[in-house]
Structure 1
Amino acid sequence: MRFRRGLATFAAAVTAMVPAVVLPAAVPASADEVNARYNVWTWNVAGWKMHRGATGNGLITALANSIRNRHADFAALNELCRSQYKAVQSNLRASGWPTDVENFSRFQEHNSTACNGEPFGLAIFSRQPMGPAARFPLAPDGSLERRQLLCAPLEARPHLRFCTTHITPSNDVIGGVKINERQLGEVLTVLENYHAAGDTVIIAGDFNAQPDYGRMNPWYSRNLNVPLNGGNRGDYRELDDTHADSPGYGETTVAAGDTSGPGGQGKKIDMIFVRENRIVGTYTGDSLSISTACGGACSDHRILIGTVTVRVTT
């Protein structure tokens, strides 16, 4: 369901200032490429903070049902306890969601004991079998977590990689560098290295930075220059950046009550990025209302979904 702000005058003003986000012409696939369309799904589930690692309180059923109902090809989960990861695996496996029930998910811990003695971290899931995971530790943020970038290719399309990350919310200066900004740069460097090697990457996760922040300018495409998101010098599109009410920014991805986004809407920190020159045609993104099937709100973040066609080297 679309998030609707009460600030109708703000939305109208933004729309009047910019007719639409204009995309460059799509580049068709070459002889050694294929165009492939994917549905992407991501959620920060606050698995320990709000659920204390629980697997029987409705969270697992709610998220697995959403993955199936949204026909996701790729799914990413942040802030997940390992027992919750295993429960998601079991739920999806039992429903026949993945094509290969033994090779459709990967887990990466951020802390080995944060969930009452068990690992805590992030995970990716794929409808199609995946190849070996690549794991990239990010710069320490001074906490007990060691944040990571987790990526894996499709087994049948090794030049297509799906990644997730959960960037630290802190932007304190550590070692002379702002740590959120440094981690964002580290992740972007890995993605650009993949691109230079001929790979197409879809990344979904919690970036803990809003689209209009200066630290996101190296990410967002230089072709995106709108009132809510200008000064960009990057090469990537976020799949919700064509949202009609907030072009260039997108919908909030946090719980109701936050007003730190433009015009008083909730902030957007969960994102799905694809490099612009790998996108074919139009793409879409949407932020979903938070389920209350967990004896209350299932998370302090909203599920973010997106659909995109990408060019992949065969």
Structure 2
Amino acid sequence: MRLHGIRRRGVRLMLAGVLAGVLLPAAATQAEAAAARTYTVWQWNVAGNAIHGGSTTDGMVDQAAASVVNRDADFAGFNELCQGQYNALVSELRAKGWPADPQNFARFEPSRQAGNSSVCHGEAFGNGLFSKRPLGAAARITLPDDGTAEKRNLLCAPLADGTATRFCTTHITTNQSFNVAQLDSVRQKLEGYHTAGETVLIAGDFNAQPHYGRLNSFYAPSLDVPNYSNNTGAYRELDDNDTGNCLGYGEWTADGTPDATPPCGGKAKIDLIFARESALAGPYSEDSLAISTSCTGVPACSDHRIVIGTVTVN
């Protein structure tokens, strides 16, 4: 009887061990997803067709890849990127040893398909995203049509590491009426990811300045400073706490004349990096870099600045 009891206890212990082996990975995954982690997000509208004409040899690709690596970015978003430039960036970043998985770190989605010789020498043109860590399957969401030849999109991809972290990039139309519709479409998709338990970081050219009313549905009410008192959203832009430049607004990002004067004067800020306020688990900050004039054959490497943000999230 005693021996029989020992065997039974042994069976129970073995079963407990098996169950623990089944349950521990799920518990570990949940703990990993909940743990605070810090990411650096890098964003640039490169004007790949308008300024570079699709060139991969005038210095823009080299400078972009070097900046991503030198700034130790975790994610990088590109707008107005030609397919050939995207391919060259994949090669450059691989050669520099930036991605942990050289075969699974980049995604591209055209907003103009290949075949139009007046754009990128006939190549596709659109948004690209890159990740230091391996990526899962990308989501490619077409935004409300503004009636032009360019079909704007939201490009997102999750990390494959079990942290439920997703990175997105987008380039919103300049048409004000459709700008609103596209912003709403992007925001609804971000909220859908949040409801599904994901932490999303989004960077891109929103063609809307922080003080525009159409971004009130993005910014959280906790951003309550002059010029920013009617917010109804759930997000913080990583430069909205910049007291050294323009509190609530941040540093300018785009050359040229803005369609509405920024609250602190100067040029426009339309390249933005957002994180959901409920996901914040520590400090955040953002800077925009001076536009390089080192590209050959053009006065400047873009009409947009590179924007770099760092954030700690759950």
Structure with a larger share of its residues in helix: 2
Distance, in Å, in 1 between the alignment partners of 2:61 and 2:113 is 21
Partner of 2:311: 308
Distance, in Å, in 1 between the alignment partners of 2:162 and 2:207 is 30
Q: Confirm whether residue 262 of structure 1 aligns to residue 263 of structure 2.
A: yes
1:197-276 matches, cutoff 5 A: 197-244=196-243, 245-255=245-255, 260-276=261-277
The 1:32–1:294 alpha-carbon spacing in structure 2 relative to 1, beyond 3 Å, is closer
Highest relative contact order (Cα 8 Å, sep 6+), 1 or 2?
1
Measured against aligned partners, the alpha-carbon deviations of 1:226-249 in whole angstroms (never above 9, x if no partner) come to: 113221011100001111121111
Shift of 1:260: 3.0
Report if aligned partners of 2:254, 2:305 keep a CA contact under 8 Å in 1: yes
Percent of matched pairs sharing the same residue:
52
Q: Structure 1: which 5+ runs fail to align?
A: 1-28, 172-177
Q: Structure 2: which 5+ runs fail to align?
A: 1-29
Q: What is the number of equivalent residue pairs in this alignment?
A: 277
* Residue identity matched to 1:223: S
Measured against aligned partners, the alpha-carbon deviations of 1:36-73 in whole angstroms (never above 9, x if no partner) come to: 10000000000000000000000011111110111100
TM-score when normalising by structure 1: 0.85
Distance, in Å, in 1 between the alignment partners of 2:122 and 2:33 is 48
Partner of 1:142: 147
The 1:288–1:256 alpha-carbon spacing in structure 2 relative to 1, beyond 3 Å, is farther
Q: Confirm whether residue 73 of structure 1 aligns to residue 74 of structure 2.
A: yes
Measured against aligned partners, the alpha-carbon deviations of 1:3-58 in whole angstroms (never above 9, x if no partner) come to: xxxxxxxxxxxxxxxxxxxxxxxxxx978611110000000000000000000000
Q: Confirm whether residue 297 of structure 1 aligns to residue 307 of structure 2.
A: no
Shift of 1:115: 1.8
Partner of 1:108: 109
Distance, in Å, in 2 between the alignment partners of 1:230 and 1:164 is 27
Distance, in Å, in 2 between the alignment partners of 1:152 and 1:158 is 13
Measured against aligned partners, the alpha-carbon deviations of 1:161-213 in whole angstroms (never above 9, x if no partner) come to: 00000000111xxxxxx210000000000000000010000000000001010
The 1:189–1:254 alpha-carbon spacing in structure 2 relative to 1, beyond 3 Å, is same
Report if aligned partners of 2:171, 2:204 keep a CA contact under 8 Å in 1: yes
Report if aligned partners of 1:220, 1:238 keep a CA contact under 8 Å in 2: yes
Distance, in Å, in 2 between the alignment partners of 1:186 and 1:158 is 25
Shift of 1:158: 5.4
The 1:168–1:72 alpha-carbon spacing in structure 2 relative to 1, beyond 3 Å, is same
Distance, in Å, in 2 between the alignment partners of 1:214 and 1:168 is 16
Partner of 1:162: 167
Distance, in Å, in 2 between the alignment partners of 1:34 and 1:163 is 21
Partner of 2:192: 193
> SS of the counterpart of 2:69?
helix
